[in-house]
């Protein structure tokens, strides 16, 4: 059997074309028919999609000289009008990284003029990070392209299918986040 040709899938989806996960499962089933690969059909595809999604997102963000982490900081600030300001602690809880990693991101963004730091009015030891006008312009353009890329990637599914998948993925995510 040549794994690169069109064959029936190992899944019950009725699709006639095998994807990489079908090929991997088929090979495993040959050498370990005693194992259950049902979860691999889901998790393997999520992992494989994550690779392609990340590659696309990185390509899009590169047009703005941003990486995913820097985009996350700018987007978090953009979601907090009208001042577009947050403390480092608030940012850290939104982007889920260490304080050192956040400081590095803020330093890079500040050196590019996309954010500024100032002493907090209510706490002399505190700092407030603010989205600059240039940062606002960059994140507005980047988020527009980011959403267009997401729509293109999800475009293989109908609107109803996207909603169904979103519900199922949310159910899985809530379980592992718990």
List per-residue pLDDT tens for the chain, 178 residues long.
344 333 444 444 555 799 999 999 999 999 999 999 999 999 999 999 999 999 999 999 999 999 999 999 999 999 999 999 999 999 999 998 898 999 999 999 999 999 999 987 776 668 999 999 999 999 999 999 999 999 999 999 999 999 999 999 999 999 998 8
Which among 47, 28, 49, 50 has a CA at the least distance from the CA of 37? 28
Among 24, 39, 64, give the residue marking a domain's end: 64
Give yes or no: residues 114 and 46 share one domain. no
Give yes or no: residues 53 and 73 share one domain. no
Domain carrying residue 80: 66-178
Give yes or no: residues 13 and 90 share one domain. no
Which among 51, 44, 1 has a CA at the least distance from the CA of 22? 44
Among 30, 46, 64, give the residue marking a domain's end: 64
Report how many domains make up the chain: 2
Give yes or no: residues 50 and 71 share one domain. no
CA distance 145 to 122: 37
For residues 35, 39, 44 and 47, what is the CA-based torsion angle, rounded to 10 degrees? -140
Among 64, 86, 116, give the residue marking a domain's end: 64
Indicate the pTM of the whole model: 0.80
> Measured at the alpha carbon of residue 173, what is the angle toward residues 153 and 157, in degrees to the nearest 5?
25
């Amino acid at each position: 059997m040549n794994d690169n040709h069109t064959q029936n899938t190992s899944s019950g989806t009725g699709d006639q074309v095998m994807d990489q996960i079908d090929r991997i499962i088929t090979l495993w089933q040959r050498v370990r028919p005693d194992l259950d690969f049902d979860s691999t059909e889901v998790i393997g595809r999520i992992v494989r999609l994550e690779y392609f999604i990340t590659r696309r997102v990185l390509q899009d963000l590169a047009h703005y000289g941003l990486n995913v982490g820097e985009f996350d900081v700018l987007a978090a600030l953009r979601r907090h009008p009208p001042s577009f300001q947050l403390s480092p602690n608030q940012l850290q809880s939104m982007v889920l990284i260490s304080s050192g990693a956040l400081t590095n991101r803020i330093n890079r963004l500040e050196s590019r003029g996309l954010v500024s730091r100032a002493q907090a009015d209510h706490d002399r030891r505190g700092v407030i990070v603010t989205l600059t006008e240039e940062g606002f312009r960059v994140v507005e353009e980047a988020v527009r392209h980011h959403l267009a890329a997401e729509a293109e990637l999800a475009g293989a599914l109908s609107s109803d299918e996207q909603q169904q998948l979103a519900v199922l993925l949310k159910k899985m995510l809530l379980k592992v986040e718990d």
